Amino acid sequence: MRNDQDEKYEGQEDSEYHFSDDEVNYDVEAEEEPKPAATKRPAGDMLQRLTSSKRMLISLAVFLILIFIVYRMVAPPATTTPSTDIAPVTTTPPATEVTAAPPAQPAIAPPAASLAEAPKAPVAQAPLPQQVPAPTPPQVEIAVPTASTFPSDIPVPDRTVTPAQLPSDVEAAAAALDSTTQKQMGDIQADYAAKLSAYENQNKALQTEVQNLNDRIGKMERQINQLVQTLTRSQPIAAPSTEPEAMPAAVAKARGMRIGYSVQAIIPGRAWLRSEDGDTVTVTEGDAIKNVGRVTKIDPYDGVVEINTGDHVISLSYGNDGG
């Protein structure tokens, strides 16, 4: 009986499959454990990258919007007078809108099936977690301001203006200015020539007057020289007295009497005296006149000749004999 039961149990053992630690492939389990973590780590990095990319794009869009608002505030209003400087206009083609595409996601390969099937029965596999696809970030469209977005109220010339295309009124103004300048230059030159001619005439008149005065002075000098020569030939010059003792007696004799001489002509340093008898005497300062006295001063400017008689001084002038 016991043997029959043992055989029965042995038959049950053969019909049922029992798991054994020796049949389990530990290498497969070691490869299965790190793979879910390896698949989860790139997904987290991608989410962080997408989040940072979103922030950068949003910051860039806000920065561009602020720049556009500041430009609209600082730009001059449309009613301002356009500049008169004409410059060639170049048409700028409108820029296309830049669409920021999300960064490419790296493809995640599914884990290779590395579990080997048991030769007798399939090994029960643990259910692998399904990878959830990362959410696609929304595409942000950044509108780049082009030439068409700026204020279009400022008039822009359609073509470049060359110097040959200047209006006729500018040419007329230039011609009028040229003629006015030439006329003013002609007037200035004529005025200068007239003044120069007047100065030349005045200079000639002054030269003529100076020449006439020189002629008159020369004539007067010649007449005086002739007079001196005539007087010198008619009567010799009285010699100075060498008798000092007889001089007081002659002077005393002439007291209370008229000298009888008058001035005929005077030059610096010399005088001509005429007596009542018509005789002419030429004297200089220091000369003695017989029976009269000594000449002490000859003043040609006042026409005075002073004679010291010993008691007093007698002044002779034109037509005055000192009496």
Q: pLDDT digit string (tens) for 181-220?
A: 999 999 999 999 999 999 999 999 999 999 999 999 999 9
Cβ-Cβ contacts under 8 Å for 230 (sequence gap 6 or more): none
Rounded Cα distance between 206 and 93, Å, is 86
Over residues 140-148, the mean pLDDT reads 50
**In terms of Cα–Cα distance, which of 101, 138, 106 is closest to 41?**
106
Judged against a pLDDT cut of 70, whether residue 15 lies above it is answered with: no
193 HSE (CA, 13 A, CB side)? 6
Q: Does 187 or 255 have the greater pLDDT score?
A: 187
Short-list 301, 299, 295, 300, CA closest to 314: 295
Does pLDDT of 233 surpass 70? yes
Which pLDDT value is given to residue 141?
A: 54
237-242: list long-range contacts, CB under 8 Å, 24+ apart: 237/281, 237/282, 237/283, 237/287, 238/281, 238/283, 238/287, 238/288, 238/289, 238/290, 240/286, 240/287, 240/288, 241/288, 241/290
pLDDT band at 300 (very low <50, low <70, confident <90, very high): confident
Judge whether residue 42 has pLDDT over 70. Answer: no
Sequence-ordered list of residues with C-beta below 8 angstroms from that of 19, at least 6 positions apart, any chain: none
Residue 308, classified by CB atoms within 10 Å of its CB into exposed (0-12), middle (13-18) or buried (19+), is middle
**pLDDT at residue 70 tops 80:** yes
Of the chain, the percentage scoring pLDDT greater than 70 comes to: 49
Confidence band of 293 (pLDDT split at 50, 70, 90): confident
The structural domains of the chain, with segments of one domain joined by +, span 2-79+87-158, 188-231, 235-316
Which one-letter amino acid corresponds to residue 162? T
Model confidence at 67, pLDDT cuts 50, 70, 90, reads very high
Q: pLDDT confidence of 180, banded at 50, 70, 90?
A: very high
CA distances from 189 to 177, 178, 192, 305 (A): 18, 17, 5, 62
Q: Quick one: pLDDT at residue 25?
A: 56
pLDDT at site 265: 85
The pTM of the full predicted model, rounded to 2 decimals, is: 0.24
Q: Among all chains, which residue has been given the structure tokens 């206009």?
A: 89
- Looking up tokens 């060498």 gives 242
Per-residue pLDDT band for 148 (boundaries 50, 70, 90) equals very low
Output the average pLDDT for the chain: 69
How high is the pLDDT of residue 230? 83
Q: State percent of the chain over pLDDT 90.
A: 20
Higher pLDDT, 114 or 153: 153
In order of 78, 146, 149, the CA distances from 152 in angstroms are 8, 12, 8
pLDDT band at residue 282 under the 50/70/90 scheme: confident
Q: What pLDDT does residue 316 have? A: 83
